[in-house]
Structures are given as structure tokens and as C-alpha cells.
Amino acid sequence: MNRKFRLLPWFAVALMLVVGAQSSRADEQAAAAAPAVAPVVTGGVTINLDKTSLDNGGQIKITGKAPAGQEVYLEIYNDSHKVRATRFDKDPIKDPANGGGGSDKFYVEQMKKKPGDRPYVFYMTMEMPAFYRIIAPEDKKEAFAAEKKKGGKWSVPAVIKGMGADVAFNAPAAAKIDHYQSTLLASVVGSRGDNLGTLDAKNAKIRAMQLLKARFRSIDKVFATGVKIQPDGSYEATLKMSAGNSPGDYKVVAWVDKDTKATADFTNNVSFPTVYLPNAGTSLNLIWPFIITLLIAIFGVMMGAGGGFIMNPLFVQIFPTLPHPYIAGTVMPTVLFSQGSGILTYSKIKFISWKLGIGIGLAMMLGGIIGPGLTEKITMEQFKWVFGCILVVLALLMYWQTTPGYLEKNKKEQAILKEFKKRAEEAAKAKQA
């Protein structure tokens, strides 16, 4: 009977592979059957793509013609999938009359805050394109490079102003953005605060630029230069899309000015074992996460944990396209599988103190309520720094507990280890019997 039940996990895996393969083939057939969409031309500019379909990324050559002497900017975005983008603004407000920007002006004039105060305003949109990029003319390389040198301090408004790309920044600016008034205490416990409603179009564009950086983080993911423009107005550029981006329909818009544009379409397809993760806005091959998680689960249960404290930093480093709040949120429920099987095994060898477990479990329940709210208010850099400090402290404590001096002073711990070994041996003998 036990042998029959052992086949169930393998049956489930096989079923998942078959269903995933069938669904991916159906998606590919539907995409292949969809008729090609003719480019939309407005105001004397044309656009052509050498491909109308990609398989999990690739290259597309973009060509066309604009009025002679005009600059052309390309705006590329996913028109099928929108994702969430959030930003918690806690930086001191600058005086709009003395170096402050549009963001500071909004706080002072509309929200009646004072320069020097911390706003504690939380911004969120559910309509950020899962993929977004602006390709500027080649002669904008210096402006782009100058902003790139700033490292993590680069800003979308500065890039757009330096490259003169304001005409092309349209898809994110059209997103609905809500803002919340929080407080220092509310931010500590993870509360968004009071909903102040949706921003107007002018302020939404400013916040959309900030949310764009918060979402994609790297300047190279959002901006590039490479549109070659000839004296007669003909232009060409190459879109390089890496694997792991969102599938679906994409728009390529060639902008000359607000009234002069041309639009073309293409699709990006993914197939199993690569799957699209809607909340994260990226695609991921499931094979490597499966293998990594299997090894972590084995080691984590040996440590008396589910393995989440190892999976979080590893996934952040190995899969940089995944936003850290989604890694933390995804790891949390998956750890239940390893914890459940680990609890069952430890209970069989009677090595669980339920009174202690319930006591600290209540504290973990409270932390589980506060933690998720905090993840959407901190940046990736803050997340890595805090998590890294915690792991370093834990590593030092564990190393100290294995030193000869510590073990000699703690005979009780040695007795516990011997008892654990004894019970494990007894359980193994009972199983063989």
C-alpha cells in the first residue's frame, strides 16, 4: 500500500508537465493564428518591424521614415500585462524655490507640507507595463552615460530631460496612481495609511517616473540609445529583449512629437517549463528553482526551519528579474510544504515541545502580519542590507556555538545532541522492524 502512495508525487509532476505543455501549445497556436496588425501611422512617420513574433526574447530590427531633420524616439511596452509598482516617499521635502522639484512643489502647494518635513506618502499603481523601454537617438549617448554614472542615484526625470525624451514617455504616465498618507508609526507596522485618492494627470506623470524606477531599478532596463537617423529622415534601431520578459502583445511607437507617431505590434511567446508570473511581471524557467529549492529544503529541515531564510537571499541574487516583495511573498507559503513534512517527522521521534512552539508561534503570527506591509515600502538595497546583517549575526552565533570552549561549558547541549542521536537511531530501527 505504501508503495502505491509513493507513486502519487510522480503522477502529480507528470500531470503538471502534460497540462503545462498543452496550455503552452494552445497559446502558441492562438498567437500564430492571430492576424498581423498593420502599422498605425499619424503625421507622416512610418514604422516597420522585421519580425512580428519572438520566442522568449530575441532581437527585432525597427525601420521607418520620419520628416527630414526630425528626431525619432521609440517607446516599447507590453500592452497585454500590467503589474503593480509601489514607492514609499520618506525623503525630506526640499524648498521648491531653492532647488526643489515638481515633487516637492506638490507637497508644499497641494498637501500643505513644509520644506524639511518627511512626507511619508505611499504611492501605488496596478497599471505599470510589465515591460517598458525608450530608445533614444544615437547622439544622446553622452547624456545617457552621464546619468548612468550616478549608479543607484539615477532618476527617470533627469534621463528624460537630458535625452529630450519627454515626447516618448506616455504609457506609464497614463497609469492610474493612488497615494496614501502614512505616518512614521504606520510605516513601521506596515500600514499604507489613509487613501488620498487618485492623482491628477500632471502629478501622476511625475510619480509615474518615480514608480518606473522603483519597478525596474536598473537604468539599462528602461532606457537605451541606438536610433540611427539619416539626413532624409529614414531611421533604424534594434530592440534586444532578453529571455525572461513577459509574454503577450507589445507596442512599438515611433514618436517625433505629440501629434506625429507611428505604431507597430509584435508578440513575445513563452512555453513550458518557462512560465509567466503575473504578480512579478516576468517569466521564469521552473527547472532551476525546483532543483535549488529541493536542496535548500533538505538542509533547512535539518536546521529546524523551512529553508526560507536561505531561499530569500539566493533567489534575489540568482533571479534578479523577480522583485523582492514577490520573492518574500512566494517563499512564505512554499515553506509550508517543507515545514509540514518536517513537523510530521520530528513529531514521530518526539522531539517537539508544543508549549514552547505555540508560545513563539503567536509572536511569529504577529510578525507575519507586520512583515508583508513593510516589504512593499523598502527598496531592494535596504532589503539586502537588513537581510545580510541578520544572516551574518546568525552565522556568527552558530559558529560560536560550535567552538570547543562553548561545547565544554555547555554539557547540557551535548546531552541533548546525544539524546537526539539516540532517538533517531531508535526510530530507524523501529522502521526497519
- The CA distance from 171 to 204, in Å, is 12
Supply φ then ψ for residue 245, to 5 degrees: -85, 170
Q: Which residues pair with 60 in a beta bridge?
A: 239
Contact 175, 262 (CB under 8 A): no
In a domain, 20, yes or no: no
Residue 28 in any domain: the answer is no
CB atoms within 10 A of CB 206: 19
Residues 354 and 210 in one domain: no
Q: Is residue 408 part of a domain?
A: no
Q: Please calculate the CA angle 403-406-412 and round it to the nearest 5 degrees.
A: 125
Q: CA dist 242 to 54, 56, 152, Å? A: 11, 8, 22
CATH number for position 255: 2.60.40.1930
Does residue 72 lie in a domain region?
Answer: yes
Q: Residues 369, 296: one domain?
A: yes
> At which of 243, 269, 295 does a domain end?
269
Q: Residue 307: name the closest of 340, 351, 346 by CA.
A: 340
- One domain, residues 290 and 199: no
Q: What is the mean pLDDT of each run of 10 residues along the chain (433 residues)?
A: 44 45 41 48 85 96 95 97 92 88 88 91 94 97 95 93 96 95 70 86 92 94 96 96 95 94 96 91 89 78 64 77 76 71 72 71 74 69 76 78 71 70 78 71
| Structure confidence at residue 19 (pLDDT) | 40
Instruction: Give dist(CA 343, CA 275) in Å, integer.
Output: 31
Q: How far apart are CA 382 and CA 324, in angstroms?
A: 11
* 142 shares a domain with 47: yes
SS3 343: helix
Which residue, of 206, 234, 269, is where some domain finishes? 269
- Per the domain annotation, does 1 fall within a domain? no
Let me know whether 248 and 386 are in one domain: no
Give the model's pLDDT for residue 304. Answer: 56
Residue 306 structural domain? 286-400
> What pLDDT does 50 receive?
96
Q: Helix or strand or coil: residue 198?
A: strand
Pairing between β-strand 121-129 and β-strand 177-181 as defined by DSSP bridges: antiparallel
Q: Is the peptide bond before 67 cis (omega within 30 degrees of 0)?
A: no
End-to-end CA distance of the chain: 17
> Residue 248, by phi and psi: left (phi above 0), alpha (psi -120 to 50) or beta?
left
Determine the distance from the C-alpha atom of residue 228 to the mean position of all C-alpha atoms in its chain, rounded to a whole number: 32
Say if 191 falls within a structural domain.
yes
Same domain, 292 and 263: no
Number of structural domains in the chain: 2
Pair 179, 142 in one domain: yes
What gap in Å lies between CA 392 and CA 313, rounded to an integer?
12
Q: Are residues 213 and 301 in the same domain?
A: no
**Range list of β-strands (E), 157-309:** 177-181, 194-198, 223-229, 234-241, 248-257, 260-269, 274-277, 282-285
pLDDT for the residue 412: 67
Tell me, what amino acid is at 400?
W
Residue 132 belongs to a domain: yes
Same domain, yes or no: 298 and 217: no
Single out the residue in 244, 269, 294 at which a domain terminates.
269
Residues 286 and 202: their CA atoms lie apart, in Å, by 41
| Domain co-membership, 304 together with 331 | yes
Task: Please check whether residues 77 and 205 belong to one and the same domain.
Answer: yes
Is 417 inside any structural domain? no
Sorted by sequence, the CB contacts under 8 Å of residue 214 that are 6+ apart come out as 85, 86, 87, 379
The CA-CA-CA angle for residues 135, 139, 141, to 5°, reads 65
Same domain as 207, residue 305: no
pLDDT for 64: 96
